[in-house]
Amino acid sequence: MIICKICNEVFTNNKIYSNHVRWKHKEVSQTTCPDCGQIVTNHNYKKHVLGCQKLLTVQKHCKECNAVITVKYNQFCNRSCATSYNNTHKAHGTRRSKLECWIEDQLTILYPSLEIYFNRKNVINSELDIYIPSLSLAIELNGIFHYEPIFSEAQLNKCKNNDNRKFQACLEKNIELCIIDTSHQKYFKPDTSQKYLDIICNIVDTKR
């Protein structure tokens, strides 16, 4: 029989007694919860913090659009902003085509003083490949996925519906939307991409 010297509780097993002293009388390392400030043992710290974060409501700014949001354990105001941020900050696995990346590089060089946005979603709540606010001009580079059922008919219909919604949204915002069919380019090469860049430059120069 073992009697706890602190609380006089009786134990018949030495291991149970040792655990009792360690946990009940805090003979373990402790950490302060960053959310509520409560001191908890390292044994229960992870469980406590997860529970605390679920209950705690925090006001912060969306990492993508900087809007003030009140969220539970989140960093974005909606899924669209989360997707945009993650696609922009990916080190690999980006959804953008090589053609889009190449055209962005070229336009940045050709029009250094012109404000041009690439793959922005906060203009019409849908992604625009190229958007030039001073010209009220948007340009979409539509590859083969916009015209043929590469994955499925359902996926193609979804893509077409999204294109229609995008067109209507631009009309409502008085944005001229130009669509360039790039489906004939099977593989990216600068020499086969030049014609698409020329089309974009002609559109931009006409609008300026």
pLDDT of 158 strictly over 50: yes
Structure tokens of 65?
């659009």
Q: What is the pLDDT of residues 88-113, one digit of tens each?
A: 555 444 467 889 999 999 999 999 99
Question: Does residue 203 surpass a pLDDT of 80?
Answer: yes
Question: Could you tell me if residue 87 is inside a domain?
Answer: no
Q: Which residues contact 157 (CB under 8 A, 6 or more apart)?
A: none
Neighbours of 73 (CB within 10 A): 13
Contact call for residues 50 and 38 (beta carbons, < 8 A): no
Q: Is residue 144 part of a domain?
A: yes
Question: How high is the pLDDT of residue 93?
Answer: 42
pLDDT score for 191: 92
Question: Does 152 fall in a domain?
Answer: yes
Residue 29 lies in a domain: no
Nearest to 139 by CA among 185, 105, 182, 79: 182
Q: Of 75, 79, 56, whose CA–CA distance to 66 is shortest? A: 75
Establish if 154 belongs to a structural domain: yes
Query: What span, in angstroms and rounded, lies between the C-alpha atoms of 201 and 182?
Result: 15
User: In the chain, what percentage of residues exceed pLDDT 70?
Assistant: 70
CATH value at residue 181: 3.40.960.10
* Residues β-bridged to residue 130: 118, 139
Indicate the number of domains in the chain. Answer: 1
Range of the domain at 142: 96-207
On whether residue 136 sits in a domain, the answer given is yes
pTM: 0.55
